[in-house]
Structures are given as structure tokens and as C-alpha cells.
């Protein structure tokens, strides 16, 4: 049914039903609906979603987000199933996925509620925040769908949840499409002036969203901790988990003395700060893996979904090895999260940068296949991305971005990094193909700029996602001003979505513009460059 037909039928319904609004007011509102919904990916659903507001029309964006919220409030019973017909192992896998989806829906609702509040306050002023939170809500919905689809079990529960996630994703997509059209009178000029950079350097180069207090915290050599963790009993706690459990939910600094802490940690608390004795001295290690029976997200050594997380001088490892298949060291869905001078080590799927705004500075990240993946808006600055020897005759891929909707303000930006092979891989690296990235989802977005690319990287640079050649048109992969033996672009892929860009385009993917870092990073005290180098 065409969009115009839906609108006409709606208007007729008003007339026959004796709507409380005048005909002129009703028609004016519905013409606005028709116009606005035409900008969305799912215009028919957009019109239908607004029917409930016909007697008391709200701002259209607010109304769409309200509808998404109401549809996302699923009762726990929605995810229930009679598992008597399933074998014990299958029943356990189903329970793992349904529990994960419940958690993701809770995370999605949190971001939708934040979006509503920001819309009511000022759509223009809060545009970037609203885009970020709606993008995250959609990402969480798709993560649930991916988990249900991956099971491949018979029965109606998994397909029902998958279809529901598709529906919720369409609702969120429509909201996001309209928010993306907001014109705002602040911050529209892309910032990269030398004067601004120098001013930021004087403030230790952190985005504004990092408070002065947090900035000092990250830079100081003297640690004023709320709790101390030490394996030898010389601290307040002997495990990191105990210290995190003691945190009140605002900024809480935990100093973790040198040692290997074999823990599996999951936290949704805001304001956690972990400070270690060095990226290779204080290590959090686990060895769960998909090959060992875990789910992909469940394999993570460290999971953080609370906002404003900071880690400094600490390491996150998954030691399952190349035979573990998917085995996460770190799972991050924390808005305004910062990782400074950290090591993140694994093989396949090392770092799941799932959603929201993330910043990685001077980190060493190791892996083989898709070892940085997810759908965050993440900037990796002055990091070492280290390729390890893959299993069997496989190939290596660094970045697998999962941007699933053109309205999402997400993607991976790699700036001033060093891309190289590990010491054990270097002697045999030319026996394998290694790539900068591949498109996990249809609108995957990845930019590599001002970085040193070693000859470990194949001359074509990028590789297709298996069976998804059509993504080459809708993805956005770009390179700018890279150096090193692997940086030549003459033999790069010839996809419509691949670009060699100039500074006017590259500046869109800097800390200041891509993750609005000038508004939150300065408070953390992490060194950063706001614009291009």
C-alpha cells in the first residue's frame, strides 16, 4: 500500500470517526507525516506508527521514539520457551541467547529513554547524542537477532524473536532517519584549525567530555584510588570483581597492582576506572571460547556496559589461542569509554567494540580474524594493531565494522596507528593474506588515516564478507595519508564504496568530529589529537 494511500485512509478515518481535531489541523498534521515519513527507509511503517497520536499529535520524531519504546518493553515471558523437547546442551544454548536478548533489550530501552529526554530538551543541541543513542538501540536489537539466527535450531521461538528484532530495528531506523535530518546551528563547521589543536594540546589533548578531574586522573603518576586490588593481600581486595562490586555507580577509581588476575568480569556500573601498573604488568586473563562451549559474547574476559569507563596501564587477554575460534578479550558497550596505554590480546574477535562512543589511545591490540569488530563509533589513535599467525590456511582481517543502517553515526577510525606483524608471525607473514578490514554489515564504515601500514597487509587492502559481494556498493571504506610499505593504494580494491580521500573528508573521522571528543575526552586526562595530524 502506497504512502499516499495510507495517509488518505487515515484522514478518512478521522472524518468518519469524529476526531477531536479540526479537519484543517488534522490535514496539516497528516501532510507533515507524509512529508517526514518519505525520508525514512520504511515510510509505510512510519505512517502506521503515528496513528496512535492522531488525537494528540506530538513532535513526529518524539512520537516515533515513543512508539519504539513501547514496542521494546517486552515482558520476560516473551523470551520463555518450553525446553522439554530440547537436549540439555541445546536448552542451555537457547537459555544463553534469550538471557542475552533480555539484557540487550534493557540496554536498548536505556538509550531510547535517553533519546526521548534529549529530544524534549533540544533536538538541535543534542543531535549528536540522540544519533549515538538511537544508533546503539538499533545495534542492540540487531545483536539479539544475530544471536538467535546463529543458533539454527528448529521451533518457533528463535524465528519469532528474530522477526521482532527486525521490526524494532525498522522502528529505530525511522527515528534515526529523521534525527539525522535535524539542522543545527552549532558545531556544523568541521574543526581542524592549528589554533584549536594547540589549545587542546595545552589541555593535554583530551576531548571535552573528559572532565578536568578525570583528565588529571589519567595523567598523574600519583594514584588516589578508592580501592586497591592486590593478589598478595596488601590491598583492600584480592580480586578485581570484588572491587567493582563495591563501586557506588559514580566515578570509582580502582588501582590494580601488578599480577595476572584470572577472572571473568561483567559490569554495568557507570564511572568505573581501572588503573594498573602497566599494560603488560597488570593483566586480566580468561580462556573461554566458542570452541570451548561459550557463546560469542559470553566468551569475553571483560565486559563493560556501564558508561564513562576508563582503563589505564592494564591488559585484557583471552588465552584460548587460535583454536578457540571466537574468543573475546574485551566487550565494550560503554558510552564515553576510554582505554589508555592498554593491551588487548586474543586471536579471533579479540575486541568487540559493540556500541556507543569509544576512544583507544596508545593501546596494543593483537589478533587474527576480525580482531576489532562491532558497531561503536570508535577512534583508535596512536595504537599498535598487531597481526598474529592465523589458524590453518585462514587469512587475517583487522577491522570488521557492523554498521547496519545508513543513519547510524558509527564506524571505526584508525588514526596515527602502526599496523604490523607479531614477532612469531613476521617470518611467515607472506604465506598468508592479511587485510585492513571487511564489511560485517551492509553499511560498514572504516577509515584508516595517517597510519604506518607494514608490508604484512595485502596490496588489495580489503576483502569481501563471504557471500555478500553487494556490500561493495553500500559500504564506506577509506584511506588517507598513510605511509609504509603496505600503504600504496594503486592495487586496492575497485569497489564503489572504497575511497582514497583528502583532508576535507578525512577530518570528518577525527576525534573532534566523529565522536564529538572535544566535549568529553578532556575530563579523562587521556592525551589525544582532536583533528588531523
Catalytic positions are 370
Residues 6+ apart with CB under 8 A from 219: 204, 525, 526, 527
Task: Name residue, grid cell 499516499.
Answer: 4
Question: What is the C-alpha to C-alpha distance for residues 33 and 379, in angstroms, rounded to an integer?
Answer: 37
Cβ burial, residue 442 (10 Å; 0-12/13-18/19+): middle
CB-based contact 336:273 (threshold 8 Å):
no
**From the CB of residue 113, how many other CB atoms can be counted at a distance below 10 Å?**
15
Strands (E), 388-517: 396-401, 411-415, 418-421, 434-437, 445-449, 452-453, 476-480, 498-500
Reduced to 3 states (helix: H, G, I; strand: E, B; else coil), residue 235 is coil
What does each C-alpha distance from 467 to 148, 303, 375, 400, 471 come to in angstroms? 20, 31, 20, 15, 10
C-alpha cell at 132: 549515538
What does each C-alpha distance from 335 to 217, 286, 304, 310, 486 come to in angstroms? 19, 24, 10, 11, 33
CA-CA-CA-CA torsion sign (154, 156, 160, 163): positive
Alpha helices, H only, 325-470: none
Please list, residue by residue across 369-384, b when 16 or more beta carbons sit within 10 angstroms of its beta carbon and e when fewer do: bbbbbbbbbbbbbbbb
Residues 6+ apart with CB under 8 A from 510: 192, 379, 413, 415, 529, 530, 531, 532
What does each C-alpha distance from 362 to 9, 341, 378, 486 come to in angstroms? 59, 5, 14, 21
Largest CA distance in the chain: 79
What's the distance, CA 10 to chain centroid?
38
Question: What is the C-alpha to C-alpha distance for residues 396 and 437, in angstroms, rounded to an integer?
Answer: 9
C-alpha cell at 501: 580521500
Alpha helices, H only, 366-498: 471-474
Reduced to 3 states (helix: H, G, I; strand: E, B; else coil), residue 91 is helix
Amino acid at each position: 500500500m502506497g504512502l499516499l494511500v495510507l495517509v488518505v485512509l487515515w484522514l478518512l478515518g478521522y472524518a468518519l470517526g469524529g476526531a477531536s481535531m479540526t479537519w484543517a489541523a488534522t490535514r496539516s498534521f497528516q501532510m507533515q507525516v507524509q512529508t517526514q515519513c518519505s525520508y525514512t527507509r520504511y515510510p509505510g511503517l512510519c505512517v502506521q506508527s503515528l496513528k496512535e497520536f492522531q488525537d494528540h499529535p506530538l513532535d513526529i520524531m518524539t512520537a516515533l521514539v515513543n512508539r519504539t519504546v513501547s514496542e521494546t518493553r517486552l515482558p520476560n515471558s516473551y523470551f520463555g520457551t518450553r525446553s522439554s523437547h530440547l537436549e540439555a546442551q541445546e536448552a542451555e544454548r537457547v537459555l544463553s541467547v534469550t538471557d542475552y536478548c533480555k539484557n540487550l533489550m534493557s540496554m536498548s530501552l536505556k538509550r531510547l529513554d535517553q533519546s526521548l529526554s534529549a529530544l524534549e530538551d533540544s533536538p538541535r543541541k543534542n543531535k549528536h547524542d540522540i544519533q549515538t543513542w538511537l544508533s546503539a538501540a538499533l545495534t542492540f536489537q540487531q545483536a539479539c537477532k544475530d544471536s538467535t539466527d546463529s543458533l539454527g535450531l528448529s521451533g518457533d521461538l528463535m524465528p519469532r524473536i528474530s522477526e521482532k528484532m527486525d521490526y524494532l530495528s525498522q522502528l529505530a531506523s525511522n527515528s534515526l532517519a529523521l534525527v539525522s535530518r535535524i539542522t543545527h546551528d552549532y558545531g556544523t563547521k568541521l574543526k581542524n584549525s592549528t589554533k584549536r589543536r594547540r589549545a587542546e594540546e595545552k589541555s593535554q589533548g583530551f576531548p571535552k567530555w573528559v572532565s578536568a578531574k578525570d583528565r588529571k586522573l589519567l595523567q598523574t603518576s600519583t594514584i588516589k584510588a578508592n580501592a586497591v586490588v592486590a593478589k598478595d593481600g596488601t590491598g583492600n581486595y584480592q580480586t578485581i570483581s570484588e572491587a567493582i562490586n563495591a563501586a557506588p555507580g559514580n566515578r570509582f577509581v580502582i588501582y590494580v597492582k601488578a599480577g595476572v588476575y584470572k577472572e571473568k568480569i561483567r559490569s554495568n556500573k557507570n564511572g568505573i576506572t581501572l588503573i594498573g601498573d602497566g599494560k603488560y604488568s597488570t593483566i586480566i586473563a580468561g580462556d573461554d571460547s566458542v570452541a570451548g562451549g561459550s557463546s560469542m559474547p559470553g566468551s569475553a574476559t571483560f565486559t563493560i556496559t556501564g558508561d564513562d569507563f576508563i582503563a589505564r596501564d592494564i591488559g585484557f587477554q583471552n588465552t584460548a589461542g587460535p583454536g578457540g575460534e571466537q574468543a573475546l578479550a574485551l566487550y565494550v558497550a560503554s558510552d564515553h569509554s576510554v582505554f589508555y596505554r592498554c593491551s588487548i590480546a586474543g586471536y579471533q574477535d579479540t575486541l568487540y567494540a559493540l556500541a556507543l562512543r569509544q576512544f583507544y589511545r596508545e593501546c596494543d591490540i593483537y589478533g587474527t580474524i576480525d580482531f576489532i569488530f562491532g558497531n561503536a563509533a570508535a577512534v583508535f589513535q596512536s595504537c599498535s594493531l598487531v597481526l598474529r599467525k592465523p589458524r590453518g590456511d585462514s587469512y587475517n582481517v583487522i577491522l570488521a565494522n557492523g554498521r547496519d543502517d545508513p543513519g547510524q553515526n558509527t564506524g571505526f577510525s584508525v588514526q596515527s596507528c602502526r599496523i604490523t606483524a607479531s614477532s612469531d608471525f613476521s617470518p611467515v607473514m607472506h604465506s598468508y593474506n592479511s587485510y585492513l578490514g571487511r564489511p560485517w554489515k551492509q553499511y560498514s564504515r572504516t577509515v584508516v588515516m595517517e597510519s604506518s601500514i607494514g608490508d604484512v597487509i595485502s596490496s588489495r587492502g580489503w576483502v569481501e564478507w563471504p557471500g555478500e559481494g553487494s556490500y561493495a556498493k553500500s559500504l564506506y571504506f577509506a584511506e588517507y595519508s598513510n605511509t609504509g610499505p603496505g600503504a600504496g593504494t594503486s592495487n586496492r580494491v575497485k569497489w564503489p564504496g572504497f575511497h582514497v580521500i583528502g583532508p576535507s573528508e578525512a577530518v570528518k573521522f577525527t576525534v573532534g568530529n566523529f565522536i564529538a571528543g572535544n566535549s568529553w575526552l578532556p575530563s579523562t586526562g587521556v592525551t589525544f589529537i582532536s583533528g588531523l595530524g
